[in-house]
Amino acid sequence: MHSPAPPSITAAAPASVRAELRATLALATPLVAANLLQMGVYSIDVIFVARLGTTELAAATLGVYLYSVLAFAMIGLVSAAAPLIAAELGRRAHAVRQVRRSFRMAMWLAVVAGLATMSVLANGERLLLLTHQDAHVAARAGRFLDILLWATIPAVATGVMRVTASALGRPGWAMLVTGLGLCMGLLGNWLLVFGRAGFPALGLEGSAIASVATSVAMMLAFVLILLLDRKLRRYRLFGHWWRTEWSRLREIFRLGAPIALTMTFEGALFSAAGFLMGLIGVTEVAAHAIALQIAAIAFQVPFGIAQAATIRVGMAYGARDHVWIGRAGRVSLTVGIGFMVFTASLLLIAPRLFVGVYVDPDAPANAALVALALQYLGVAAAFQLFDGAQAVAAGVLRGLQDTRVPMLAALFGYWVIGAGCAVLLGFGAGWQGLGIWWGLAAGLAAVSALLLWRWTARARLGLLPPTLHPN
């Protein structure tokens, strides 16, 4: 007996650019908010542990970094369910069984990917020692990761449920659940790190336990939402969870593996930039961290727009409507790049205001740090445009189920152009930290140019679905 078909979630093409803009903003706004809140969730451990001392702070920083890089990549892997679900909705608005199959296989993949990630994190101390970290810090980070690794499967499963709810027209739940996670993390760290309200003071380990509890709570919240939400429950997403759909699993992996690698290439480039800064000096590292944090916050907006673009273009792809595909892509790119023009202007006009959030810019002791951070933010203002363009361009291409070539473009742009220019300008030309930042800008510019060209050439490259009325 089949489940009843839910109502359409805008499976028909909007009649105008204005209608597409409204649909895109309605989808992107809560996703942007969820991304910003997620940054807070990942930062809570480090913020609380900072009061325990330098060693504990270093251990938490390294542990959270290793965990977040791997977890983020695995979430990218399973996020391939979004364009597949969107395409089914565009192809047939009531595609209940097809949506359920994509969700089920993405959840299976989340468990497998989570177990693989856990096995890597279980060797966290050895990995950190291979990078020549302090032995005591590596040992503490290893014990931290031994607990934190249990958050992996809930986090990746939550990623599947988040993109599914968003594709089915309920993106607001992502914002609310992530807000719940932020509150849970704050409370858990307050109770367990310092031993408040009768709880034991567990220090670093308490922070890891709080993160696991937060991850599990977010997963359970999404399970309840998918079961109880009037619109979502009609899909019976957890029905027949034991049934295999190997062809669908392979399709998700085929699309998702390049997404995961693309995210890894970009994250690794910025991490490598931090290591290069360490070869120059401590002040350069601190200034780099401040400028990069400011840029990362701004990036969450085009990243959320890119997530919405994948769904909007994916629905048009499923409907085989070339006009809609072009309109959805143009709207998303215009909004994403337009916002980054705004943030770039702010960084050029008032950079000291942003630096002042982290350090006192008028304190004599911070003079060198502030001067470097302002230099780096000047470059960040330039690469904001490229960062927004590459993020949204990748999103619209994912809507066309095109991920392998964009991955190769990211590998070339980030690691040949970006890393190469960072080393040449930073050390060969003697520009030091400023040269490294111009290298990052060059890498982002190269990737954005390649992805934008591929989007504009989508018809010639055969990326569009067959249709009776091509654009």
pLDDT digits (tens, 9 = 90+) for 270-312: 888 888 888 898 888 888 888 888 888 899 999 999 999 999 9
Q: What is the pLDDT of residues 330-370, one digit of tens each?
A: 999 999 999 999 999 999 999 999 888 888 888 888 899 89
Length of the chain: 471
Residue of 404, 231, 393, 405 whose CA lies nearest to 313? 393
Residues 239, 311 within the same domain: no
Residues 279, 236 within the same domain: no
- Contacts (Cβ under 8 Å, ≥6 apart) of 283: 368, 369, 372
Residues 136, 179 within the same domain: yes
In a domain, 4, yes or no: no
Residues 229, 259 within the same domain: no
Q: What is the mean pLDDT of the chain?
A: 90
Q: What is the pLDDT of residues 252-261, one digit of tens each?
A: 999 999 999 9
In a domain, 223, yes or no: yes
Q: Which residues of 260-288 are buried (b: 16+ CB within 10 A; e: fewer)?
A: bbbbbbbbebbebbeebbeebeebbbbbb
Q: What is the pLDDT of residues 69-83, one digit of tens each?
A: 899 999 999 999 999
Distance CA 310, CA 391 (A): 11
Residues 289, 426 within the same domain: yes
Over range 432-458, report the average pLDDT. 96
Q: Is the pLDDT of residue 46 over 80?
A: no
pTM of the model: 0.90
Name the DSSP class of 429.
S
Give start and end residues of each alpha helix (H) in 168-245.
172-192, 203-228
Q: What is the pLDDT of residues 187-234, one digit of tens each?
A: 999 999 999 988 999 998 999 999 999 999 999 999 999 999 999 999
Q: Which residues of 99-136 are buried (b: 16+ CB within 10 A; e: fewer)?
A: bbbbbbbbbbbbebbbeebbeebeebbebbbeeebeee
Residues 301, 338 within the same domain: yes
Residues 44, 105 within the same domain: yes
- pLDDT in the model for residue 272: 87
Residues 167, 121 within the same domain: yes
Residues 461, 323 within the same domain: yes
Residues 220, 318 within the same domain: no
Count of domains in the chain?
2
Boundary of a domain, candidates 186, 218, 244: 244
- pLDDT in the model for residue 196: 92
Boundary of a domain, candidates 182, 213, 244: 244
Q: Is the pLDDT of residue 9 over 70?
A: no
Distance CA 328, CA 319 (A): 13
Over range 231-251, report the average pLDDT. 92
Calculate the alpha carbon distances from 29 to 178, 256, 305, 314 in Å. Answer: 14, 24, 8, 18
Residue of 431, 443, 97, 108 whose CA lies nearest to 268? 443
In a domain, 346, yes or no: yes
Tokens of 223: 């399970």
In a domain, 228, yes or no: yes
Structural domain including 332 reads: 255-471
Over range 434-452, report the average pLDDT. 96
Q: What is the pLDDT of residues 95-133, one digit of tens each?
A: 888 999 999 999 999 999 999 999 999 999 999 888 778
Distance CA 138, CA 122 (A): 12
In a domain, 51, yes or no: yes
Q: Which residues of 359-372 are buried (b: 16+ CB within 10 A; e: fewer)?
A: bebeeeebeebbeb
Distance CA 471, CA 152 (A): 44
Distance CA 239, CA 66 (A): 35
Q: Is the pLDDT of residue 3 over 50?
A: no
In a domain, 18, yes or no: no
Q: What is the pLDDT of residues 377-388, one digit of tens each?
A: 999 988 888 999
Please, which pLDDT band fits residue 94 given cuts at 50, 70 and 90?
A: low
In a domain, 297, yes or no: yes
- pLDDT in the model for residue 12: 66
In a domain, 2, yes or no: no
Percentage of residues of the chain with pLDDT beyond 90? 70
Residues 198, 318 within the same domain: no
Phi-psi region of 467 (alpha: psi -120 to 50; beta: other; left: phi over 0): beta
- pLDDT in the model for residue 287: 87
Distance CA 376, CA 453 (A): 28
- Going 113 to 119 to 125 to 129, the CA torsion angle's sign is negative
153 or 295, which is more confident: 153
Q: Is the pLDDT of residue 250 over 90?
A: yes
Residues 127, 100 within the same domain: yes
Please, which pLDDT band fits residue 417 given cuts at 50, 70 and 90?
A: very high
- pLDDT in the model for residue 131: 78
Boundary of a domain, candidates 195, 222, 244: 244
- pLDDT in the model for residue 93: 58
